[in-house]
Structure 1
């Protein structure tokens, strides 16, 4: 019978040789070897951390660059819109006569807050006459005052400007709604109109809000929605 001897793997031979060599080393050299092994593991760990840091840093730089580019692009676009609105408003009558399509396009893109009050007044044709009449209406008494007062607290209750009871926001609401009830006695006051007034007051002073309200109610036929049936 022929006996076969299993061939020991090369890696196993190297491991055995290493172990045998280490067994023959003095204790001082064994301690040094252990320290070198520990140091080597720390170096490997630090290398991985450093690579991770570089990767994260590069990714952050890339993201920051993208954000910076996007921010710059948005800023330039916003400045361009502001410039266009300023140009149009400086010659509003001319823009209307020319039927400048740019006005419609800009409105659809959204009117910047800085220009919103004046643009809304120009678009609806708010008149100085209505603004002057407002002062007279404020001094007068309306038969609808009690009902108006009752409904004011329920108009935009989540908006800070209108939250305070009898505060400046609620007083402005009351004044404009009362003024319109005197201006258009057929409509008087109808519940729900306060939300239109409140929206206007978020953009402009009372007399301007009143002038815009008159136009959108009468010239743009919104009053038909509030007339008594």
Structure 2
């Protein structure tokens, strides 16, 4: 239905454009050529939409080139939905029910939507239609993905979608972007994916613009200070909408790679100026100069972006490297936490000792150490004596078997009985000593 409706709209507008064009006299050949070019573009994109599956499968390279040149405004809604496969999503049927529910993020969303495209006519005013539908979409998403809920920055992406399509369709596209375009990982509370993107971007900066990288470091100008918003809002808070939308067109087809490319292109364009500035100067430059450099020529930015060296395999390796670093940091944090807990317990024991409790006084501790050492020594001596007596018993038993004389037998039996008695006493004494050592050890602990 979406394709049919768009196709009918396209044919209707094509017809009106042709009819109106036939009744007008061109003021110049240049304007006539431009009109024909626009009409050709219109017809071409109409064909792409109606033959979408074929273009995606058989004409992918040409489609990519056309998207990089910019999707015509009238076709953006349908093409964006087709690019992310959001034209027939089951979640669309849940949308109206989600709006009837309450979300724990509502207050936060209400606070932020007033700061989303505040100068755009669609979103101006507290009771504007734009703010209301933006609230609806953000609230609905916070309910279908409670782990993410709502994150600042995401409203700019939804706001752009709402400029192109109805709220139900914008909701479906946003869900798909979160699921399939790494945005969900970017907007999770931990923002781990943002850390990865910054890590990867820093590698590109160090490799391709080493002089600028050194200058940034010397000024403590962190990558996150200027690049975080690039990844979180896809340049929607950096460039005016006509330029940002061109970047978004490419993002819808090629993903986050375009953010790395455009970011590096910006730094390449401005390296000579940036290395002359201190931290404050660079902050002002990023806020006031860079955003408007390509207002009249976004094609120049896009062209430069695709001249940036970008190795997908290397970026994948960096992802694994970053994951290993984070795992190691996590292990270190666990060990640090364990050591801190152990240290806290030791401090508590020291404080108890320092309070002067007689049981744990320094004199008592010294006494325990001495007594424990002496008890262990006595235990060792007793074990030695016991072993010696056991050896004598064995020796006498051998002698008894060799001396059959009756007097000798009686004498040896008496000696054996005496030794057995002494052995029993030694065992008893050893048991008592072992218990004493145990008690002392427990007291020491």
Same fold (TM over 0.5): yes
- The Cα of 1:124 is off from its aligned counterpart by 0.9
Q: Aligned ranges for residues 45-64 of structure 1 at < 5 Å?
A: none
Going by fraction, where is helix more abundant, 1 or 2? 2
Matched, 1:132 2:93: yes
> 1:202 offset after TM fit, Å?
0.6
1:89 aligns with 2:76: no
The match for 2:128 among 151, 167, 172 is 167
**1:5 matched residue in structure 2:** none
Superposed displacement of residue 81, structure 1: 1.1
Shift, 1:97, TM fit: 2.2
Matches within 5 A, 1:1-229: 68-126=28-86, 127-229=88-190
Give, in whole Å, the separation in 1 of the partners of 2:91 and 2:42.
29
> Counterpart of 1:186 in 2: which secondary structure?
coil
Provide, for residues 150-182 of structure 1, a one-character-per-residue CA deviation record: whole Å limited to 9, x for no partner: 111111000011011122111001000001111
Aligned to 2:258: none
Q: How far apart in 1 are the matches of 2:30 and 2:91? A: 44
The size of the alignment, in residue pairs, is 165
User: Which whole-Å deviations, capped at 9, do the CAs of 1:30-54 have from their partners, x for residues lacking one?
Assistant: xxxxxxxxxxxxxxxxxxxxxxxxx
Question: CA offset at residue 134 of structure 1?
Answer: 1.5
Return the offset for 1:128.
3.0
Secondary structure of 1:191's partner? coil
Q: Which residue of 1 aligns with 2:271?
A: none
Deviations 1:165-223 (A, max 9, x none): 12211100100000111111111001111111111101110001001101111111111
Regions of 4+ moved over 3 Å: none
State the distance in 2 between where 1:150 and 1:184 align.
20
Structure 1 residue 99 displacement after superposition: 4.0
Deviation, structure 1 residue 104: 1.2
1:40-89 Cα offsets, whole Å, 9 max, x none, are xxxxxxxxxxxxxxxxxxxxxxxxxx972221121111111111111111
The residue aligned with 2:237 is: none
Shift of 1:140: 1.3
TM-score (norm: length of structure 2)? 0.36
**Higher RCO by CA contacts (8 Å cutoff, separation 6 or greater):** 1
Shift of 1:130: 2.5
Unaligned runs of 5+ in 2: 1-25, 191-445
**Structure 1 gap segments, 5+ residues each:** 1-65
Does 145-154 or 127-136 show the bigger shift?
127-136
CA distance in 2 between counterparts of 1:187 and 1:155 reads 19
Number of the residue aligned with 2:260: none
Looking at structure 1, the residues matched to 89 and 183 of structure 2 have their Cα atoms a distance apart, in angstroms, of 21
In 2, Cα distance between equivalents of 1:225 and 1:186: 12
Q: Tell me, what secondary structure is at the counterpart of 1:171?
A: helix
Q: What do you get for the CA RMSD once the two structures are aligned?
A: 1.7
